[in-house]
Amino acid sequence: MSNRELQLLFGVVYSVLYNCFLSPISKVPGPVVAKVSPFWLMRAVRRGNLNRDIQELHRRYGPVVRLSPTEVSFATIDAQNAIHRPGPSSKTGLFFTKEGTLEAMMGEIIWPAPNLLTATKPEEHQRLKRALQPAFTERSLQSQQPIQRQHAETLIDNVRRSSEKNVFVDLTPHMSRAIWDIVSDLSFGEPLLKDQLAKFERLKTTFCKVSPLLEALQVLLAVPGVQLFSKACIGLVPLLFWLPTNVLPSAQLRKRCERKDLNEDFLTAIMRCRELGISMTDKELQSNASLLVMVGYDTTATSLSSTMNLLLRHPLYLAALKKELQFHFASTEEMSATSLAQLPLLNGCIQEALRLFPPANGKGTNRTSPGAIIDNIYIPRGVNVSADMYTIQRSPLYWAQPDSFRPERWFDNGSGTEFAKDVRASHCPFLLGPRMCIGRAVALQSMRMLLAQIVFCFDLEAAEDYDWEKDVPNSYLWTDYRCMARVRCN
């Protein structure tokens, strides 16, 4: 055996022994393959079963498990608060940040500058949040209703035409297009990205397909001597896999920014930040404008489809929701954001779908430990940590009938009821703390409007035995989902 082969063998043996017995997180339980290599995570994302596989690990090993040599997952509210809410340690400069996470590294490739999602430094994130906040005030929400109503009407027309041609209609592409157009119009005051939806979907699909490779590269980033190699490989991903990175063309954005006859929209509100003394470069403006569309679209479209899928699988709740809408409204013209927000079953259905299928789970909630104690376990600096949203929101510790679709838990939960002891503080589909989703109110308002109009205007029936729980792949995001229904006009 040559010296090189001996060195390689020694390195492998040492790595296995170190990660199993000597690493500061060696006592965290988990599969041996996860402790010594990225192969467990690579297999989970390749199978499109990441959420369910992590949940199963927690059921087997408990509230804290090892996912890789450099990653630990927690499944408690205390861990969720410790990771996402700044505590006493933040006063000494110790923050759980996104620095070193896969999301931050890919953000450097996809976007031209840091944005609200990828900013790693707390002060940088706070500056960007102050710049974007004016776009999401209560006044802004009220001004968005005509745009949401317009695209809801277009959605109804498109579904009606499809139902005239086909017995069964896949509602997902119609709903997704409506969400894309709403987010684009709200962001730029015009359909600037009308033809970019296919490009974004290709970006999303490709990103998920290369996820096993990215998991391996992330673990290698922690190995001395190969960090530069790993970073170089990550930088080559867009070239090797033809990953589109210009969903928001800079030339079109520049023209839009130069226009003077501007309607009130996200971009207009963000551009005012300079008048308020908040600095933002042109690249940061482009990056954050692109972020609002891409992330705003994907999370909302996914949640709308998952809610509709659950309703089709539970026809009694679908019928009850239709009855609730018909009781309060004689036509869709009477529906407003304010009135829809007050309907208990409509909102219960949406919240329950967000609980069962959180759109932002996967790797988007990962943070890098500054060297801190979580759930009485010391996690050293540089280790990736997450409070697994999917597992927490289905935990029997916090929820009655945790895996069942029961919308009434959100309004029929008084003392003595089945759901009185639900710990609703564990429900954080939009995250919590300083990085809570800035557009959550916009997403909920759009979902209410579109879902209410579809259920009100059509008699819907499931066209196939399609179960989101079993049939929809999930790695970093939910992908390749559909919503086939028999559609009859009222």
What is the pLDDT at residue 10? 63
What is the pLDDT at residue 244? 59
Q: What is the dihedral of CA 228, 232, 235, 241, to 10 degrees?
A: -140
Which is more confident, 120 or 266? 120
Rg (CA), the chain: 23
What are the pLDDT digits (tens) for 358-377? 998 778 889 999 999 999 99
What is the helix, strand, coil percentage profile of the chain, to 5? 60, 10, 35
Q: Give me 440's structure tokens.
A: 């959550």
Distance between CA atoms of residues 471 and 390, nearest Å? 16
Name residue, tokens 């059921």: 59
Distance between CA atoms of residues 391 and 395, nearest Å? 6
What is the pLDDT at residue 251? 64
Q: Are 428 and 446 in contact (CB under 8 A)?
A: no
What are the pLDDT digits (tens) for 102-113? 777 777 777 778
What are the pLDDT digits (tens) for 237-256? 666 666 655 666 666 666 66
**Sign of torsion, CA 237 241 242 243?**
negative
What is the pLDDT at residue 103? 79
Distance between CA atoms of residues 457 and 475, nearest Å? 34
Mean pLDDT of the chain: 87
What are the pLDDT digits (tens) for 410-468? 998 888 899 999 999 999 999 999 999 999 999 999 999 999 999 999 999 999 999 99
Name residue, tokens 């989970």: 44
Mean of the pLDDT values across residues 378-403? 96
- In 3D space, the residue among 48, 46, 369 whose CA is nearest the CA of residue 222 turns out to be 369
What is the pLDDT at residue 211? 81
172-176, 215-219, 313-317: least confidently modelled range: 215-219
Amino acid at 387: A
384, β-bridge pairs: 71, 368
Q: Residues in the chain, how many?
A: 490
Query: Is 437 marked within a binding site?
Result: yes
Q: Where are the alpha helices (DSSP H) in 329-398?
A: 337-340, 344-356, 389-392
Q: Are 355 and 426 in contact (CB under 8 A)?
A: no
Distance between CA atoms of residues 19 and 10, nearest Å? 14
Distance between CA atoms of residues 1 and 370, nearest Å? 42
Q: Where are the alpha helices (DSSP H) in 97-196?
A: 102-110, 122-132, 138-143, 145-165, 171-188
- In 3D space, the residue among 468, 471, 464 whose CA is nearest the CA of residue 485 turns out to be 464
Indicate whether 320 pLDDT > 80.
yes
DSSP 94: -
What is the pLDDT at residue 57? 98
Give the rounded distance of the alpha carbon of 185 from its chain centre: 21
374, β-bridge pairs: 377
Q: Cα dist. 121→102, 117, 435 in Å?
A: 15, 11, 12
Distance between CA atoms of residues 45 and 357, nearest Å? 17
Strands 71-74 and 64-68: antiparallel
Share of the chain above pLDDT 70, in %: 88
Cα end-to-end span (Å), the chain? 78
Mean of the pLDDT values across residues 183-189? 81
pTM of the model: 0.92
63-72, 137-146, 181-190, 265-274: least confidently modelled range: 265-274
**Helix (H), strand (E) at residue 462:** strand 458-462
What is the pLDDT at residue 269? 74
Distance between CA atoms of residues 393 and 60, nearest Å? 17
Distance between CA atoms of residues 141 and 150, nearest Å? 15
Give the model's confidence band at 225: pLDDT under 50 very low, under 70 low, under 90 confident, else very high: low
**Helix (H), strand (E) at residue 45:** helix 39-46
Residue ranges and CATH numbers for the domains of the chain are 1-98+361-393 (no CATH), 100-350+434-490 (1.10.630.10)
Give the rounded distance of the alpha carbon of 302 from its chain centre: 9
Report the 10 Å Cβ neighbour count for 482.
17
Indicate whether 356 pLDDT > 90.
yes
Indicate whether 261 pLDDT > 60.
no
- In 3D space, the residue among 272, 252, 265 whose CA is nearest the CA of residue 292 turns out to be 265
- In 3D space, the residue among 342, 349, 353, 321 whose CA is nearest the CA of residue 453 turns out to be 321
Report the 10 Å Cβ neighbour count for 476.
21
What is the pLDDT at residue 336? 96
Q: Are 48 and 21 in contact (CB under 8 A)?
A: no
Q: Give me 67's structure tokens.
A: 């996912």
- In 3D space, the residue among 72, 116, 75, 73 whose CA is nearest the CA of residue 98 turns out to be 116
Q: Are 374 and 58 in contact (CB under 8 A)?
A: no
Indicate whether 31 pLDDT > 90.
yes
